[in-house]
Structure 1
Amino acid sequence: MDYNVYLLATDPNNPCRDVIHSRDTHLKIRVFCLNEETFHPDSNEIQLYGYAKKKLYAFETINIVAEDALDVVGAIQWYAEYIDFPEMEILPDDPRADQHIAM
């Protein structure tokens, strides 16, 4: 069974600006700490969300290509292990009530 290897680029000036890179594909995912910064989703990218230790994260792909889309969840699971919160539930929508638009 093949396993993807992920690498992490961190910003020394902002601990909430990690970027997950797949070593073997073109997949890149930007990490946002929604408790500490604003986030404006890009409609051309995939966004997923997760809580870890009362902190809400947004994960957004960077220039996603179709063949990498299936690896997004695996990369986020890897990141959850990295931040020592493997039980992170990955959510398809922003769970904050003010982000939902009534129709």
Structure 2
Amino acid sequence: MDHNVYLLATDPNDPCRDIIHSRDTGLKVRVFCLSSDPFTPNKNEIQLYGYAHNKLYAFETINITSEDALDVVSAIQWYADYVDYPQMEILPDDPRPGHEIAM
């Protein structure tokens, strides 16, 4: 099985605003630090969450395609290694109180 190579675009004015790019596919994932960034999920994208170093992160795809959907978790796992927190648990729902999914 081939492994994607991921690249990171950072915002020099906001150290908590990264975008993960797959070099080999069209996958892009925006990273939000929920302790400092406002975040409103886009219903047309995939959102996943994870804690690293006592910070809660939201990961949201950018213009996701069905071909790239399976690579989202591996991109987040790569980011967890990048921030030196490989044990990050990837969560399907926002764990903050009051942010449950409305059915």
Corresponding residue for residue 21 of structure 2:
21
Rounded Cα–Cα distance in structure 1 between residues aligned with 2:51 and 2:42: 20
Structure 2: tracts of 5 or more residues without a match: none
1:68 and 2:48 matched = no
CA RMSD after TM alignment? 1.2
- Structure 2 residue aligned with 1:9: 9
SS of 1:48's equivalent in the other structure is strand
Q: For 1:9-65, what per-residue CA distance to the aligned partner results, in whole angstroms no more than 9, with x for missing partners?
A: 000000111000000000000000001111000000000000001100000000000
Q: State TM-score, norm by structure 2.
A: 0.96
Say which structure is richer in helix: 1
The 2-side partners of 1:19 and 1:34 are apart by 15
**Identical pairs, percent:** 76
1:56 aligns with 2:56: yes
Secondary structure, aligned partner of 2:36: coil
Structure 1, unaligned runs of 5 or more: none
> Is 2:93–2:100's contact at 8 Å kept on the other side of the alignment?
no
Residue 100 of structure 1 and its aligned partner are, at CA, apart by 2.1
Q: Residues 102 and 8 (structure 1 numbering): CA distance in 2 closer, same or farther, change over 3 Å?
A: closer
Count of matched residue pairs: 103
